[in-house]
Amino acid sequence: MAYTLADLDSMSLDQAQALPFAERDRLLDLVIADGRKDSTQMESFRSGLYCDYFDEDLTRLLKLRAIRVWCRGHTSSGFDGVMVGDTEVEQYRAAFRHLQTTLEAAGTSYSRVVTMVIYLTDMDNWSRLNEVYREFVSNTPCRAVIGTTGLAQPPLAIEIVSAIAYRVAP
């Protein structure tokens, strides 16, 4: 049986936590999707890029044994410290791939990211960043992109400063 959010809401903590992992994992996607909110139904330039806020329903998350995953900052420098990419777009892709590696190692994915903060050294590349962002992020987290004059290493063009996602405990 595929449970709904209404079913989850009517369950006790013990009943919900007794559900098989796969069902709790599927329900987590529904809880996250339900938590993504926009301030208004008006279309805007941001459509498809981010939501305005995320309602963290702690009761539902507790029932599913959801774990919040906080990811550190990611740049185009690989885990070996070597910068990847000769162009800014290549650096953007590398930073998103590095974050993807961390999310997967933590047992989650971009689809479960609820908030993200990004620093860019050149805000004139806003549209290029958004193109790369759409390659990786299909569900809309809360997002902030902040222009900066530099990062830890001068050739770096991007840092995904933080990302918060969820996963279900086994």
Q: Taking the domains of the chain in order of start, what are their residue ranges?
A: 5-168
Residue 72 identity (one-letter amino acid): R
Q: Is the pLDDT of residue 46 over 80?
A: no
| Residues 119, 123, 129, 130, CA torsion sign | positive
Token pair, residue 13, equals: 């903590």
Mean pLDDT of the chain: 92
d(CA 129, CA 60): 34
Q: Residue 106: its pLDDT value, please?
A: 97
Q: Residue 42: its pLDDT value, please?
A: 72
pLDDT tens, residue by residue, 91-122: 999 999 999 999 999 999 999 999 999 999 99
Q: Residue 114: its pLDDT value, please?
A: 97
If one compares 85 and 100, the residue with the highest pLDDT of the two is 100
Average pLDDT over residues 73-77: 91
Q: Residue 45: its pLDDT value, please?
A: 59
Helix (H/G/I), strand (E/B), else coil: 48: coil
The two beta strands, 113-120 and 142-147, are parallel
Domain 5-168 has CATH 3.10.129.10: no
